[in-house]
C-alpha cells in the first residue's frame, strides 16, 4: 500500500502516579485536543503530534483514574462531572451556532432536499413494483364467462392446484 508507518509503540509499563485527574480537569481543553481513546486497551493515548519531542506517549487508564480518586477522595468526582458537563455544554453551543451559520446551513438544507427527492423517487418506484406484482398476480387467476340470457358476467374461479379463493364479482 506504500504507507509509511512511524515507529510508535505504547509503553510496556505504566507509571501508577501518572497524570492526575485534577490536572486533566483544569486543562480539559488540551486533554481533548491531545489525547484519543484506544478502544482495545480501554485507555486514553496521547497523540503523536503532542508528544513529538518525547520518546514515550502518555497513557491514561482506568487504574490511573482510580488511583487519583483514591488519593483525592470521592468528592472530586462530582466536581469533575460538573466541569466536564460545562465543557460539553459550551462545545454543543459552539456546534449549534456553527450549524445555524448561513455558510453551513444552506448546503445542509440543499442536502436535505436532495435526500427527500431521492426518498420520494424510491417510494414511487416501490409503489410501481407493488402495482406490477399485483397485476401479474391477478393475471394468473382464471376468468370464466357465463352467457346466461345474453348477459356477460364473469367470475374468478379458484384453481384447485393452487388453492386460490374464487371471487364472486368480475374485475
- Domains of the chain by residue range: 21-76
In contact, 67 and 82? CB cutoff 8 Å: no
Hey, what's the torsion of the CAs at 135, 139, 142, 147, to 10 degrees? 90
> Which band of pLDDT confidence, cut at 50, 70 and 90, is reported for residue 3?
confident
SS3 (DSSP) at 34: helix
- For 145, list phi and psi in degrees, rounded to 5: -105, 140
SS3 (DSSP) at 78: helix
What are the pLDDT digits (tens) for 61-78?
888 888 888 888 888 888
H and E: helices and strands count for the chain: 5, 5
Query: Residue 50 has what pLDDT?
Result: 67
State the pTM of this model.
0.50
Half-sphere exposure of 151 (CA within 13 A, CB side): 5
In contact, 16 and 59? CB cutoff 8 Å: no
Amino acid at each position: 500500500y506504500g504507507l509509511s508507518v512511524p515507529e510508535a509503540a505504547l509503553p510496556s509499563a505504566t507509571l501508577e502516579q501518572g497524570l492526575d485527574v485534577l490536572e486533566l480537569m483544569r486543562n480539559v481543553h488540551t486533554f481533548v485536543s491531545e489525547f484519543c481513546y484506544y478502544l482495545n486497551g480501554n485507555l486514553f493515548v496521547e497523540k503523536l503530534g503532542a508528544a513529538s519531542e518525547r520518546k514515550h506517549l502518555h497513557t491514561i487508564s482506568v487504574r490511573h483514574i482510580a488511583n487519583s480518586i483514591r488519593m483525592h477522595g470521592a468528592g472530586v468526582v462530582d466536581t469533575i462531572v460538573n466541569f466536564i458537563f460545562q465543557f460539553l455544554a459550551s462545545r454543543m453551543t459552539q456546534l449549534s451556532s456553527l450549524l445555524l451559520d448561513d455558510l453551513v446551513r444552506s448546503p445542509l438544507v440543499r442536502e436535505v432536499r436532495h435526500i427527500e427527492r431521492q426518498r420520494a423517487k424510491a417510494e414511487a418506484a416501490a409503489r410501481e413494483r407493488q402495482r406490477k406484482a399485483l397485476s401479474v398476480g391477478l393475471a394468473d387467476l382464471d376468468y370464466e364467462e357465463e352467457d346466461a340470457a345474453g348477459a356477460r358476467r364473469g367470475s374468478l374461479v379458484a384453481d384447485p392446484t393452487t388453492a386460490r379463493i374464487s371471487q364472486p364479482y368480475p374485475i
